[in-house]
Amino acid sequence: MNNFESKLKHALQAENSVPDADTFISGLHTERKSRQSARRQFYNGIAAGMFILSLGLFTASQLGTDSAELMVYDTYEILDEDDRTEEEFLTEMAVYFLEESDDIWATVAFLDETEFLESLSEENL
């Protein structure tokens, strides 16, 4: 019986362990808001990841698989050299036409009709 009496005395001397209602409610709301915020961050991260993935897929699909398109950037210097060669050829052809013609104005009119001189001026830009 001593054991029972000591437990009863101890129970009567112990303070009330029930939390204050306002403290409990504020702690509950704080925890709820933090969980909602974490859930919102998770969903926003998933949505951003899906957006970036879809943007990457759409961009990659626009690249194409033609190897010639991909090699253009590697051969830019070669293309530039070919353009210079073509420009020199067109200039030499214009000079040849003008030197070998009997009527210079007819030759100039011919070059103008064929847009030969315009192609020379476009290449000089």
C-alpha distance from residue 122 to each of 92, 94, 115 (Å): 16, 15, 11
Low pLDDT (below 70) residues in the chain: 1, 14-18, 64-82, 117-125
The pLDDT value recorded for residue 49 is 95
Three-state DSSP class for residue 123 = helix
Per-residue pLDDT at 44: 96
Is pTM beyond 0.75? Reply is: no
